[in-house]
Structure 1
Amino acid sequence: MAEPSRETIVRAQQGDQQALTELIISQQHYVYSIAMSVLKNADDAADLTQEAFIRLFRTLPQYNGESRFTTWLYRLVINLCRDELRRRGRQVAIVPPATDDEELDALQTIADNDRLIDPAQSLDLSQLRIEVRRALEQLEPHYRLVLTLYYFEDLKYTDIAEILDLPLNTVKSHIRRGKERLAQLLHTTEPPATRVVEQAVRKTPDEQMLQITPLRLLPGWGRR
């Protein structure tokens, strides 16, 4: 995950078009992946990605640096996904609250920091990417979303908890159980390596995203 520099953010807040473009280029795959993990439809995810950047440009002056920029942005995306599901009449929470079992089972809340576990040796890299993508699509929505956030390497447990507005122990539990479910779906005892999951949750060659620019989204924004 690419965290924009403070200089880029300040320039973007001042209306610098190049800085706004840099923000989009560095974040569009992550935003799309989060939207896709919730909406499970490429067109819907692309539309929400564009809406997320429109909303970003309108609210960017409000960002005060109290949290990481990516944490602030991804929470905005999650809120837009919630709004979209609510608009469709679906009241199901994106990520359910912790159950009593999760709260009481201390083993489930132990942080699992090993992102580089080797995948099953029986699958080559390209085949594994296909299998991981299929497995992710079969996961329960909250596991799919938490693992999508988790495998962006720099996104820490505390960041995920803030983005999803969940207790830290719940995030740890969902990640651990999600990785276990992913391994089960892959018919292996070990979760796939980080680089494979990252490639699986981002866009694939047949799902090319439109290159969105600030000028196309909000003409004249920088002159306000």
Structure 2
Amino acid sequence: MNKETYLGVDVAPLTYKQVIKEITQRIDQNEQSTVIAVNPEKIMKSQSDETLRGLINGSTFQIPDGVGVLLASKLKGGQIHSRVTGVEMMGYLLHLAEQKSLRVFFYGAKEEVVTKAIENIQHDYPNIIVAGYENGYEQDNNKIITHIQESEADMLFVALGSPKQELWIRDHKDQLPVKVFQGVGGSFDVYAGNVERAPEFFRNNGLEWLYRLIKEPKRFKRQLALPKFLFTILKSK
């Protein structure tokens, strides 16, 4: 696929449905796929972190999660016309797993969070096959690997925070039978009902960042990555 590049970071100009179509084709061809959400904060951090930049660019699908990436594409005359958020991408993948009877494994977060998330997911996707789970506090990495191997999982969601989750996927994917990997950050908290998503108005108008800032003013420092990113893009333009 043709990818757009912003400050040395690749982004795939695909919609949810296009990503799912390509992942489905790759599953049929017995190929592994990795999905990583890209936002201005990650792109700016990657300017001084070559490992992070390599993790992003080495993934199969770099989805444009963040209104800043959408705006940058518009400024550059690119083809990214809508956001593809990590949490909603997870929902599309869960739907795919249910449709194709794929076995799903969940790794990360606190015990009570991951188990509640699975409970709610099974309610929303009654035919989904949960292959197993491990919480994010299990210290025995060999045990985790063995558990996933024995589960014969086709799809793996890793919620360890970025870039730890992407590093874990990169380091272990060749040992696993999994065909689809996604690092999902705090998405287990969303599915568990512990974190409320922004109202539809904010999401549809690219203002989710503003809603989060209103709810959590301490995020202000992190949100500065957005204007810094756009200013840098404008300078490079």
Q: Please indicate, yes or no, whether the TM-score normalized by the shorter chain is above 0.5.
A: no
Q: Greater helix percent: which structure?
A: 1
TM-score, length basis structure 2: 0.25
Q: Greater strand percent: which structure?
A: 2
